[in-house]
Amino acid sequence: MNHRVEAVESDGVQPLADREFEQIRRLAHRTFGLDLKPGKEELVSARLRRLVRDGGFHTFQDYYKNVVADRTGAALLAMIDALATNHTSFLREADHFEFLRQTVVPVLARRDPVEIWCAACSTGEEVWTLAMVLNEAMPGKRIRITASDISNKALRCAERAAYPVARCQGVPPTWMSRYFVADARPATAYRVTPAIRALAAFRRINLVEPYSWQRPFPVIFCRNVMIYFDSATQEKVVAGLASQLEPGGYLFVGHAESLARVSHSLEYVKPAVYRKPDREGKWSKSS
């Protein structure tokens, strides 16, 4: 049987036409930087289909018109939520946390409080990993993690900090007992303890729109989001992040996001770690 016809029959939504894909591609690029290359038609169709159907539309064109016309912005936010990839995990790209512990923590030791921005934090596993690593490395230190994402849905999940058991696999047992509380016996989910939750505050930030902070940060994590942007957008986003870094501050990006093809003012330290030159504009020797 023809699958396209079958799809129309089952939920009454017409298949995504090339013109409709192009409209959605442009809107996603303009509003949140997503670079939907040719070949992503099926992904777009699969991720937006439920919104099209639940909105009572029969075509992606009608759905698109509604998103553009909705002055509340709610329809656009729902579209962004559906199109964005939220995949994340505790201790993801673990060598970054080792580098943080061994090389960056000694530099931060004189700070009070220690402030970090975790941008594009998704559902929070990265934020809580940072909180636990810093708490272990600097016991008793005041730590403030500002975490942000474009997605309100992801931010709500991050702030709640409760994760199904399967998502906690890979978290060291000592951390599980020290920093998580089970919801039941046997557990179906674990929630990060209030003491760790108190170390982070959340804010919605779209990295492709203007934003500002009162003070620059000594450390910014912004991992696995720029991979979805084209080079021009990456360049703009990195410039924004660099402007929010203190001289000598560190930027961590995802390992799949080399900045090699992007023009920027930062020093390469090691794979996926960059540093802003110090106040005299000098590069550091090592780390």
Which 8-state DSSP code applies to residue 116?
Answer: E
Residue 123 CA: distances (Å) to CA of 30, 71, 163, 171, 205: 24, 27, 9, 16, 14
Q: For ligand SAM, which stretch binds (CB under 6 A), given 12-20, 44-52, 57-65, 145-153? A: 145-153
30 binds ligand SAM (CB under 6 A): no
Strands 180-182 and 162-164: unpaired
Closest CA to 253 of 99, 67, 119: 119
* CB nearer to ligand SAM: pick between 218 and 240: 240
Q: For ligand SAM, which stretch binds (CB under 6 A), given 46-54, 144-152, 163-171, 264-272? A: 144-152
Q: Which tokens hold the place of 259?
A: 């900045």
What is the pattern of x (binds ligand SAM, CB under 6 A) and - over residues 95-124?
A: -------------------------xxx--
84 binds ligand SAM (CB under 6 A): yes
DSSP labels, 149-178: ES-HHHHHHHHHTEEEGGGGTTS-HHHHHH
225 binds ligand SAM (CB under 6 A): yes
Q: Tokens 């939504």 — which residue? A: 13
257 binds ligand SAM (CB under 6 A): no
Residue from 48, 207, 238, 269 in contact with ligand SAM (CB under 6 A): 207
Residue from 36, 133, 154, 161 in contact with ligand SAM (CB under 6 A): 154
Size of the site for ligand SAM (CB under 6 A): 24
Q: Do residues 16 and 191 make contact, with C-beta atoms less than 8 angstroms apart?
A: no
Closest CA to 29 of 202, 204, 236: 236
Residue from 20, 41, 126, 257 in contact with ligand SAM (CB under 6 A): 126
Residues that bind ligand SAM (CB under 6 A): 32-33, 84-88, 92, 120-122, 126, 149-151, 154, 205-208, 223-225, 254
